[in-house]
Structure 1
Amino acid sequence: MNKDQVKGHFEEAKGKVKEVAGKILDDKEMELKGNVQKNVGKAQAVVGNAKEDIK
């Protein structure tokens, strides 16, 4: 597992927490930011997976 995979999964988890908190608090901006952060984390993890596959 490389650092892109780890960072990506971590950002994905943080984004999910932020997204759920936004839903609970009825804060659409927080929910949207969490969703974006979650998707950026997924993308970073995919890049890490690709790097790992190339090795």
Structure 2
Amino acid sequence: MPAADAERVITAISAQLPVLFPEEDAALMSQAGFEGVKLFYAGFSSKGWVGYKPR
């Protein structure tokens, strides 16, 4: 991919999908009603979460 195209993609994704601190992600999931929220993966540009919705 040409560098100019990559820069446009990075800018577009950054504007549409902000990266939050792990504590912010967990707080949003808790506010949405999930329980037992835990970070199970954290890589260079992504995080993976697990949470359970009470019945």
TM value normalised by structure 1: 0.29
Structure possessing the higher relative contact order (Cα contacts under 8 Å, 6 or more residues apart): 1
Structure (1/2) with the larger helix percentage: 1
Larger Rg: 2
Structure (1/2) with the larger strand percentage: 2
